[in-house]
Amino acid sequence: MTANIFCNSIVSLQDYLFCLIGYLIGYLDCWIVLSYYDNIMININKKLSLSVRDQIKRQIRLKIESGELTPEQPLPSVRDLSSFLNVNRNTIALAYQELIAEGILKAEPGAGTFVHSNPSLVDKKNLRKIIGESLDKAQELGFSVDEITESFFNCLASLSANSSTGSIIVVECNEPLLEHLRQSVAEEMQIRVESILIEDLENAPDKFRQRFHDCTLVVCGFNHLEELSSLLHGFETKITGIMLRTDLKILNAIRKIPDGEAVGYVCVSQRSADTFYNSALFSGHKKLKRVIVGANDGELLSQVLADCNTVFVTNFALSQLDVKARPGQQIIPVDIDVDRNSMKLIKERFVIQNQAKKACNKVV
């Protein structure tokens, strides 16, 4: 998201909401790192859902808009700002690079980074005044900063969804879960959501390159985040990993299993079983003989059902199987769904990335 978004002299709701981000960063009064460098104050708020890079970019942009940073004024070096903020140098460097690409900063080899002589920003003094007064009024009425932030992102997500722009690609390792995630995200966001099996992506990555380039955000389970990041290396796309929610009653069932007992874990495919059950949640830190199997492996599945007195089966695998517990055996369903906080994260990342993508297109 850049200042190029604010191209109208009229103060719109969208202008209001996006400028509000910069003010929220400064207003939050806890979990904040306040740092001064050459009279430039930067606030890093550990609780805000925005990344550290985005927070740095927004504040630099806001300081240029307000006149606190003037044309040709030098900025701290990447090394110095990294040291003062205790932030990774790559984060600072990337923030600077993106602001340079947006025409807000400029880099002079051997000299450093400076505010551009004619930064591509629109004067929004009136808008900043409205936002400042609104924040003051909200706090006077007793609203906490967390409540203001939550309300802001809810409005922003609704605004973006209503515009019907942008799209999301969901990537997973089995068809039933993939379709469930696609439908869940589409219903929540009210935008176009596509789905791609990670196996198809592995087999023909170039086939999907344009689709990933055109989409706003890529979503996958955290258990696939590392491998998907590797697969999409060099692709122009942003990936968000989400948590898949399971019933915590599973923990109670695991606690009752004696150490050393063989336990079966079944998902739709061997791959999905290996990645999904690769968590301490499904062992309870006990010494169990874990047997992980895909529902499509009939021979191994039959053996697991015969040898294990406790078998965990995901709801998606269970819908494909006709299994009944024998005497003394437990077949325990494992319901999988999208964690609500993860859905909130998808909304926030989509809004931010969608606006950033639009701004980059304007710069180009």
And the tokens for 360? 């980059």
Domain coordinates in residue numbering, the chain:
3-141, 164-245+340-346, 249-335
The Cα 128–Cα 22 span in angstroms is 10
Distant-in-sequence, close-in-space partners of 209: CB < 8 Å, separation ≥ 6: 235
**Does domain 3-141 sit in CATH 1.10.10.10?**
yes
Q: Which residues of the chain have pLDDT under 70?
A: 1-40, 46-50, 120-125, 153-164, 280, 284, 357-364
Q: What is the pLDDT of residue 33?
A: 39
CA 315 from chain center: how many Å?
26
Cβ atoms within 10 A of the Cβ of 272, count?
28
Render pLDDT for 169-216 as a digit per residue (tens, 0 to 9): 999 999 999 999 999 999 888 888 999 999 999 999 889 988 988 899
The answer to whether the Cα torsion of 125, 128, 132, 134 is positive or negative is: positive
Q: What is the pLDDT of residue 233?
A: 82
Are 351 and 156 contacting, i.e. CB atoms less than 8 angstroms apart?
yes
Q: What is the pLDDT of residue 203?
A: 93
Q: What is the pLDDT of residue 120?
A: 58
Q: Which option is the CATH number for 249-335: 3.40.50, 3.30.460, 3.30.70, 2.40.350?
A: 3.40.50
Q: What is the pLDDT of residue 305?
A: 94
Provide the 8-state DSSP code for 32: E
Q: Which residues pair with 327 in a beta bridge?
A: none
Cβ atoms within 10 A of the Cβ of 133, count?
10
Q: What is the pLDDT of residue 20?
A: 53
Render pLDDT for 95-110 as a digit per residue (tens, 0 to 9): 898 888 778 899 998 8
Q: What is the pLDDT of residue 49?
A: 60
To which CATH superfamily is domain 164-245+340-346 assigned?
A: Glucose-6-phosphate isomerase like protein; domain 1 (3.40.50.10490)
Q: What is the pLDDT of residue 280?
A: 66
The pTM (predicted TM-score) of the whole model is 0.55
Q: What is the pLDDT of residue 320?
A: 87
Q: What is the pLDDT of residue 175?
A: 92
Domains 3-141 and 249-335 share a fold: no
Name which of 160, 192, 182, 154 is nearest 351 in CA terms: 160
